């Protein structure tokens, strides 16, 4: 039987099946479609303008390594006119981040991009190793997430960049849509599918891989022989996301378009007016520039570190105070409470009311103690 030809160019031998579409294609056509789809995502969302200084959040993992490579390729090919930087945060996780940062340092040489590394230790006086020593593994992802977000902003400010891009891919976004539905967190649903957000901290963040499948990113890295680090974080057993991930993988196996379909569903979700209002309160600062938000008094400066914040203390300092006072979980509870209060929709959406019998029925239903039974 003659070798199957590429479904796109009809010239070369098909050597792979695209996970996203099932098409059997050759290597060069795969590179071309993958890069072109990312280019289309970038141009359709008008993510950049010429002259933008853009930091690529570089963890050394597959997603951000492919992102750095593709951003550089597209910037050269389509003359975006961007100034690109690699920005890495060292969370202080021995045996994980120290190794992956070595990969980023090699990427810096391979792609010839300037690299900035900032550590939790220098910013907060704590490493994740020490935090986990203190609080255990249960809530450590909360600390890491809050600290990383702020660290990326601080790194971006020191590089004087306008924009941070991260390697979040279609699978990550579909998982988040599922998680928000499973938690009844409908007001966050709209936000989690946005390709570009501008947080309190107001440096634009975007996800050029919003529609890129994880399997295709791995395939791209493999065929391009990119140098990346492939170990999972040793402290991140995010069990709930794990369930969403497994569920998504099953759906993808049954129907590959499931990932994109879930993202589209998240984007198109019809939200009730009252939920929209709650989300609006939550998003009040999201689309304002930092000076506007400060001028309107919506944002202030953290009284402890001076970072932009909508409360007296920024989220990182709330967590740090808890750590320093030896009550790290209290600050997490506090944080969760305020998340519920500013909320995502009516509070009764999120609780299951306990059924209680009226007193008369309750008496009748309760079993008589042994020995007191009549008959
Ligand atoms: N320590 C870090 N320094 C800089 N950027 C980071 C760091 N950790 C995560 N990011 C950014 O956030 C994105 C999503 O991070 P996540 O922890 O979900 O990792 P991931 O899906 O394994 O991605 P990757 O394969 O790039 O590590 C990464 O692709 C990267 O752009």
Domain boundaries, the chain: 27-282, 299-342
Residue nearest to atom 18 of ligand 1 (CA): 168
Task: Report H helices in 136-169.
Answer: 140-159
Burial class (CB in 10 A: 0-12, 13-18, 19+), 337: exposed
* 27-282: CATH number: 3.40.50.620
Go through the chain and tell me how many residues it has: 375
What letter would DSSP give residue 13?
A: B
Which residue has better confidence, 301 or 67?
67
Helix (H, G, I), strand (E, B) or coil at 220: helix
In the chain, % of residues over pLDDT 90: 60
In the chain, % of residues over pLDDT 70: 81
- Within 10 Å of residue 314's Cβ, how many Cβ atoms? 24
Helix (H, G, I), strand (E, B) or coil at 269: coil
160-176 pLDDT tens trace:
998 999 999 999 999 99
Distance, CA of 3 to chain centre: 41
Question: Would you say the ipTM is above 0.85?
Answer: yes
Of 145, 176, 131, 358, residue with least CA distance to 266? 176
For 206, half-sphere exposure in the C-beta direction (CA atoms, 13 angstrom radius) is 17
Spell out the residues 6+ positions from residue 353 whose beta carbon is closer than 8 angstroms to its own: none
- Ligand 1 neighbourhood includes 89 CB (under 6 angstroms): yes
Q: Is the pLDDT of residue 51 over 60?
A: yes
Residue nearest to atom 8 of ligand 1 (CA): 59
> In testing the pocket of ligand 1, which one of 97, 166, 212, 241 has its CB within 8 Å of the most ligand atoms?
166
Rounded Cα distance between 158 and 60, Å, is 21
The sign of the CA dihedral 294, 297, 299, 305 is positive
Rounded Cα distance between 184 and 217, Å, is 30
Q: Give 170's strand partners.
A: none
- Within 10 Å of residue 249's Cβ, how many Cβ atoms? 16
Write down the residue that tokens 């789809």 correspond to: 37
320-355 pLDDT tens trace:
999 888 877 766 655 554 444 433 444 445 566 677
Determine which of 152-166, 224-238, 287-301, 353-367 has the lowest per-residue pLDDT on average.
Answer: 287-301
Average pLDDT over residues 284-312: 69
pLDDT at 289: 54
Burial class (CB in 10 A: 0-12, 13-18, 19+), 83: middle
- The rounded mean pLDDT for the chain is 86
Q: What is the number of the ligand 1 atom nearest to the C-alpha of 65?
A: 26
214-269 pLDDT tens trace:
999 999 999 999 999 998 888 876 678 889 999 999 999 999 999 999 999 999 87
- Ligand 1 neighbourhood includes 61 CB (under 6 angstroms): yes
Rounded Cα distance between 53 and 264, Å, is 30
- Ligand 1 neighbourhood includes 175 CB (under 6 angstroms): no
Q: What are the tokens at 18?
A: 């695209």
- Ligand 1 neighbourhood includes 188 CB (under 6 angstroms): no
Q: What are the tokens at 39?
A: 């280019």
């Amino acid at each position: 039987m003659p070798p199957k030809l590429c479904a796109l160019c009809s010239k070369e031998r098909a050597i792979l099946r695209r996970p996203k579409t099932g098409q059997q294609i050759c290597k060069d056509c795969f590179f071309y479609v993958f890069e072109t789809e990312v280019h289309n995502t970038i141009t359709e969302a008008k993510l950049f303008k010429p002259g933008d200084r853009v930091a690529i959040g570089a963890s050394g993992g597959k997603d951000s390594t492919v992102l750095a490579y593709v951003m550089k390729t597209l910037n050269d090919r389509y003359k975006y006119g961007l100034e690109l930087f690699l920005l890495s945060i060292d969370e202080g996780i021995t045996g994980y981040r120290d190794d992956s940062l070595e990969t980023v340092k090699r990427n810096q040489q391979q792609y010839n991009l300037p690299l900035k590394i900032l550590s939790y230790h220098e910013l907060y006086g704590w490493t994740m190793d020490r935090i986990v020593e203190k609080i255990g593994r249960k809530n450590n992802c909360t600390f890491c997430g809050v600290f990383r977000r702020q660290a990326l902003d601080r790194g971006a400010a020191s590089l004087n960049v306008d924009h941070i891009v991260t390697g979040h891919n279609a699978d990550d976004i579909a998982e988040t849509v599922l998680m928000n539905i499973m938690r009844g967190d409908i007001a966050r649903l709209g936000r989690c599918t946005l390709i570009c957000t501008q947080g309190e901290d107001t440096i634009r963040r975007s996800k050029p891989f919003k529609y890129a499948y994880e399997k295709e990113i791995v395939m791209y890295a493999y065929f391009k022989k990119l140098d990346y680090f492939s170990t999972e974080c040793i402290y991140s057993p995010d069990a709930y996301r794990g369930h969403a991930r497994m569920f998504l993988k099953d759906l993808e196996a049954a129907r590959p378009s499931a990932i994109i379909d879930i993202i589209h569903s998240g984007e198109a979700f019809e939200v009730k007016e009252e939920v929209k209002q709650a989300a609006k309160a939550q998003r009040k600062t999201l689309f304002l520039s930092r000076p506007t938000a400060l001028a309107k008094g919506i944002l202030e400066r953290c009284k402890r570190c001076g970072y932009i914040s909508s409360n007296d203390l920024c989220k990182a300092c709330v967590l740090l105070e808890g750590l320093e006072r030896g009550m790290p979980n209290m600050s997490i509870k506090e944080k969760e409470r305020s998340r519920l209060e500013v909320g995502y929709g009516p509070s009764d959406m999120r609780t299951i009311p306990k059924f209680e019998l009226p007193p008369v029925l309750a008496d009748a239903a309760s079993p008589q103690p042994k020995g007191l039974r009549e008959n």
